[in-house]
Amino acid sequence: MNKDHEKFVLDFMDCWRRHDLEGLMSRITDDAVYTPDLVTPPIKGRDAIRKEWAGYIERMPWYELIVRNIVSSDNLVFLEREERFKLPEDKPMAINIIALVGVYEFAEDGRICAFRDYYDTSVYKSPQPKSA
């Protein structure tokens, strides 16, 4: 177990709640790789990740995280969580809920060098128009 890495990941996730892009960026390496789900190609490097995450923060006025489980071994942390968030296009600001597991790999300098999220992408689709 690596409790320091677990705390680091929880602090990292708290940056999402606070919409703290700089806090997020300070916790990843320059050559970090972010894989948002099983169908999207990995996003590589600080600049590309910053652009992606800035877009998330801009579109998500409210975010909450519920931790289900957290475990670690050596340089890995697994975080099972439930994310609740609102998007501006939600009418009337419905709460979206996704259950997922994130895997965080740590570099020798103690920052995150890889971050992968795993969840069932079929549960999070744009609403389909109702048929007449």
Q: What is the pLDDT along the chain (132 residues), one digit of tens a residue?
A: 588 999 999 999 999 999 999 999 999 999 999 999 988 999 999 999 999 999 999 888 888 999 999 999 999 999 999 988 887 765 555 668 888 999 999 999 999 999 999 987 666 554 444 454
CA proximity to 28, closest of 110, 88, 98, 95: 110
Residue 12 inside a domain? The answer is yes
Residue 128 inside a domain? The answer is no
| Residue 119: strand pairing partners | none
Check which CATH number belongs to the domain holding 73 and give it.
Answer: 3.10.450.50
pTM above 0.75, yes or no: yes
Number of domains in the chain: 1
Residue 104 inside a domain? The answer is yes
Residue 131 inside a domain? The answer is no
